[in-house]
Amino acid sequence: MLRRRRSRVPAEPLPDIPDAGDERGDPVAIVDATADAAVGLDDAAEQAGPERDADVEDSNPEAFEPEDFEPEAEIGDELEDVVDDGDPVRAEHRRLRRRMGKSRSGFRGVFRRRGRIDDETWDSLEETLLLADVGLDVTGRILEGLRARASSARVVDNEQLPALLAEELVAQLQRESDVDRSLQFANDGITVWLVVGVNGAGKTTSVAKLAHRELEAGHRVLLAAADTFRAAATEQLESWANRLGVDCVRGQEGGDPGAVVFDAMSAAASRGAGLVVVDTAGRLHTKVNLMAELEKIRRVIDRGPATTTPCTLTEVLLVLDATVGQNGLAQARQFTEAVGVTGVVLAKLDGTAKGGIVLAVEDELGVPVKMVGIGERLEDLIPFDPRAFADALVGTE
């Protein structure tokens, strides 16, 4: 007998992003970088010559990777996306919970078991944490801490474990009391953020989302297209700049990325922009000469242009694809060693069951997750909050 398949409800179409002239007046100004001679840096990367990366991100900023899974809604989730209580932070936390259905589904299976906590409960929870890519060492610490909490609170029923697990996850993420997850700005002059990561991780899109967020906060932003070896990347960033209504500095194809960054800082000083966000090439962590080139870009920023306005590199943000899971840690280690990563932007958290990678990244690298991507819209890059994350992962309020 044939069985009728249920048709999937189509995802909502992406909202149109208004042209720059609709909201911010002037269209994008594109500037060619021509300051190769001004940089004057003799670097091994220049001699070896940059390699082209095989991986290619979408050149169309609207052609996002489609979601092939829509997690089953929990009771009240339908209302959470539409209720507006005037608190943007609470609204972001509600969206985070809504979008982490894949990662949460495994934990819901564990806690559906009724009755007393037994060995099967602990075994199932351990398996679920490992499948969520929390990592072996961190999973061991979480279970040890959770057992101690359950014993101290005299918790014996499965249904009481979720709240305790959420508390333990927060404790693991806040082991270092001085962790600052906010994006840093210079005290004076121009702030520069360098965004790095391999191709396909969502790096260029994350740059656009960062720019959008800072524009909404009232900052004047300039973008630097320092991926000069992949024409599609420059075109993609220019298209985003045009839609956001910001300036974008680019160079000639195959040119020196350091020169692009140099000219971007000079342009920011002359145009009164307070923040420069630099999009770099998608360097694979195995390509030594490209890592050397990335180090050179950092030196260009540290030296700064010959202007009276100081430029300060305050963030080196590594974009990781959450769907990759533990494989992303090898990339993160190499980037941290090369350029001193200050924070992680975890993209595509809504599209994976491996949300526990947040804990593994922070444990392995000692680098805080600062932003997470939870969807396709410009607004779907939000600050990482340990409490909101733990509640969304486990399913507590």
Is residue 309 domain-shared with residue 262, that is, in the same domain? yes
341, 370, 386 — which closes off a domain?
341
Is residue 112 domain-shared with residue 165, that is, in the same domain? yes
Is residue 196 domain-shared with residue 145, that is, in the same domain? no
Is residue 165 domain-shared with residue 210, that is, in the same domain? no
Q: Reduced to 3 states, what is the DSSP secondary structure of residue 383?
A: strand
Q: What angle do CA 26, 31, 36 make, to 5 degrees?
A: 160
CA distance 204 to 225: 9
Residue 79 is assigned to a structural domain of this protein: no
Is residue 327 domain-shared with residue 253, that is, in the same domain? yes
CB of 100 closer than 8 Å to CB of 69: no
Total tally of structural domains belonging to the chain: 2
Of the pLDDT bands very low, low, confident and very high (cuts 50, 70, 90), residue 54 is very low
Give the number of other Cβ atoms within 10 Å of residue 350's Cβ.
Answer: 25
Is residue 93 domain-shared with residue 231, that is, in the same domain? no
Of the pLDDT bands very low, low, confident and very high (cuts 50, 70, 90), residue 61 is very low
Give the number of other Cβ atoms within 10 Å of residue 87's Cβ.
Answer: 10
pLDDT score, position 74 = 42
Residue 62 is assigned to a structural domain of this protein: no
Q: Computed from CA positions of residues 375, 91, 217, 382, in that sequence, does the dihedral angle turn out positive or negative?
A: negative
Phi, psi of 138 (to 5 degrees): -65, -40
Residue 76 is assigned to a structural domain of this protein: no
What's the domain range around 106? 88-173
Is residue 280 domain-shared with residue 212, that is, in the same domain? yes
Lowest mean pLDDT among 141-150, 316-325, 378-387: 316-325
208-227 per-position pLDDT tens digit: 999 999 999 999 999 999 99
Residue 206 is assigned to a structural domain of this protein: yes
Residue 206 pLDDT > 90: yes
Residue 70 is assigned to a structural domain of this protein: no
Is residue 297 domain-shared with residue 205, that is, in the same domain? yes
Tell me which H or E stretch contains 209. Answer: helix 203-216
What is the edge-to-edge ordering of all strands in the sheet holding 369-373?
Answer: 30-33, 247-251, 221-225, 275-279, 190-196, 311-321, 343-347, 369-373, 381-383
Give me the amino acid identity at 61: P
Task: Report the chain's C-alpha Rg in angstroms.
Answer: 22
Is residue 197 domain-shared with residue 143, that is, in the same domain? no
Of the pLDDT bands very low, low, confident and very high (cuts 50, 70, 90), residue 59 is very low
pLDDT score, position 316 = 95
| Paired tokens of 172 | 């693991």
Q: Which residue has the tokens 């909050």?
A: 385
Section 70-97 average pLDDT: 63
CA distance 71 to 353: 10
Residue 395 is assigned to a structural domain of this protein: no
35-48 per-position pLDDT tens digit: 443 444 444 443 44
341, 356, 381 — which closes off a domain?
341
pLDDT score, position 30 = 52
| Paired tokens of 39 | 């940089």
- The CATH number of the domain where 26 resides is what? 3.40.50.300
Is residue 190 domain-shared with residue 330, that is, in the same domain? yes
Is residue 111 domain-shared with residue 202, that is, in the same domain? no
Higher pLDDT: 324 or 328? It is 324
Residue 371 is assigned to a structural domain of this protein: no
CA distance 50 to 291: 10
pLDDT score, position 328 = 73
Per the DSSP assignment, residues forming a β-bridge with 74 are none
β pairing state of 381-383 and 369-373: antiparallel
Residue 330 pLDDT > 50: yes
- The CATH number of the domain where 110 resides is what? 1.20.120.140
CB of 278 closer than 8 Å to CB of 154: no
Is residue 125 domain-shared with residue 263, that is, in the same domain? no
- Average pLDDT of the residues of the chain: 80
173, 193, 227 — which closes off a domain?
173
| DSSP state letters, 302-364 | HH--SSSS-EEEEEEEEEEEGGGTTHHHHHHHHHHHHH---EEEEE-GGG-S-TTHHHHHHHH
Higher pLDDT: 191 or 230? It is 191
pLDDT score, position 85 = 60
Of the pLDDT bands very low, low, confident and very high (cuts 50, 70, 90), residue 370 is very high
| Paired tokens of 100 | 């982490």
Residue 321 is assigned to a structural domain of this protein: yes
